[in-house]
Structure 1
Amino acid sequence: MSTWIFQGNPNRFKVDEYLRENKEIVWSIRQGHYVKDIQIGDTVYIWRSEAGKKGYGGIVARTTVTDLPVARKDSTSKYWVTPSDANEVLPRVLMHVEELALQGNHLNREFIKKNPTLSDLLILKMSNNTNYLISSIQAAELLLQWNNNVIRSNTGNREIPLPDPVSRNREFLSYSEQKRSEVVFEYLFKGNTHRWIDEHTLELDPDWSRGYQAMGILHHLGLKNAYKGIFKSISVSEAIDLIEQECVEHPADRQLFAPIISSLGGIKISVHQDEDSIGDVQAEYGKEYPEGKIAFVLHKKRERNPKLIKEAKRLFINKYGRLYCEACNFDFQKVYGDRGVDFIEGHHTKLVSEMNEGEKTKVEDIAMLCSNCHRMIHRKPLISVEELKVLILSSRSEG
């Protein structure tokens, strides 16, 4: 099997949008002498050209060829900046998208240029082509770098999966902000299906809508299967806290999470019980009050400063000489060596729901916690860092 690099220019073709919205894609073969060499099962890396943005260019997807090239027009005219470009008859090949790296974790051009094995890639020397065949040595190195820098980045140290938004916004714009907030709540916090949400929240005939209205709203925000019921055991403010923490650890992803944070920040459950009893209220609601509704009101979103955690870590190191968990004393660097340097999670000891209008988070409100202790603190019922520390010491003494 061969390995290829196919290039796309965002100034001519909406590369990111196309890859986000389609698992099965088609790409043109403009270097005609390669047509007979491309085989089913070949690996193709999609290269996004810089388009005038330094650091933007590089490899953003890994795909597999699923059919042999066939001369045809392009069926993806809506993604072309000039739709008439799709009318050109060219050999085109079908591929399945295996993995994506459209945000800051892609293999950018400068990174590839510095790699001794990959610095000779033809695309770095002659960037005007669409299709490039690479050597087996380059293919092995490229796969290694992709797995080390992209796949691990996508899965490691992530409490929350990356959103995968689609550009279609018809359903999203068809409903009020309040209705959209209800849809998001029902999906993330109660795990209800698209069809259920269409019937009970949007008040549609499910046989007509079949869940497509709720699905359209959620998919526009990037909320797909991995998000269903993801926040079942926590409150809205705790969910915002977790997402904000994820943005601090992965700042390049903030743009993807921002619409979700905004939507969650616009939710407040108007019931007699506080947020800590949401789970019980929902269980009773579904069983005893099938005609009832939970009322939603919108309130101003409170944003956390992404520089706060960084500053809190710096001051903690200045004071104690290293980063360690304030509850259990776990030290990532001691356990994981260089991979654990400067790694710790910052916990906001004051929840958004407890803050007064105009109140700002201070560095003193941030506690340094390992991943396990952070999750234990957020588990119901919510406890303080000091209370968790007491539990740990008690458990150790009994052991």
Structure 2
Amino acid sequence: MVSRREFIEQHGATCSNWNWSWSFVNHEKRFVIFGIWQDGHAEKVGLILHKHWETSPKGRKNNGYGQAIEHIRLIEQEGYGLKTFPMVGAARNPDEGELSASQITYITPELTDARLIVLPDGWYASHADDDFETIPEAVDEEFWEGESFKVVVNGYERNPDARRKCIEHFGAHCQACRVDFGKTYGPLGQGYIHVHHIKPIHECGGAYQVDPATDLIPVCANCHAMIHRRAIPLTVQELRAIMQSQLTTIDPHEL
């Protein structure tokens, strides 16, 4: 089994001290690596650095904290990328709380591109290609998708590049109701949006080329669900018209 140091060095990254470092950096390729603790179940957003980790429960300064803060600065101010890998640790000391230090039991030597999320208690990572979708709908500069693979029912492959291109074109807000989760929830909601496939993939007959600006469109989870309430999905324009008609029938006293 590859050691953590061997794994990190394979990716050209280094640190100040291999014994106490929590984070690592590759200055040549401009990215930072953090481990994410896998405590029982995977999260959409994983903790990489907590503000309480500056000192141990016994009041000792944690040497890795200052270096980690510098690596966070490289991401926030210098444009470095963020990559993460899963770690599993031994049981934490119950007398010191769930945020106490834990010895690494093993790591999964796989790097995943991630997005930094800053919350009041610390710094979190969300997978950069996380599409946040729950509706089974929805790309190499030519975007192809739709090859089916067998689960219990047919699922359809999606290329995360198409999602990114779609959001770059439209922005990360709902094209039906205009909600922007970043403006409403701050960093926690930044980039959270579904991407609706205008023509259902299962109707496309296999792999086909996708234009992210005409075949895909960002919508919020609520609007995405409403689009699929009908057997033949509503268009975004039809959904807008429905919402607009409701605005004209609402009793002002109900507001």
Please, what TM-score do these two structures have when normalized by structure 1?
0.33
By percentage of residues, which structure has more helix?
Answer: 1
Q: Which one has more relative contact order, counting CA pairs under 8 Å at least 6 apart?
A: 2
By percentage of residues, which structure has more strand?
Answer: 2
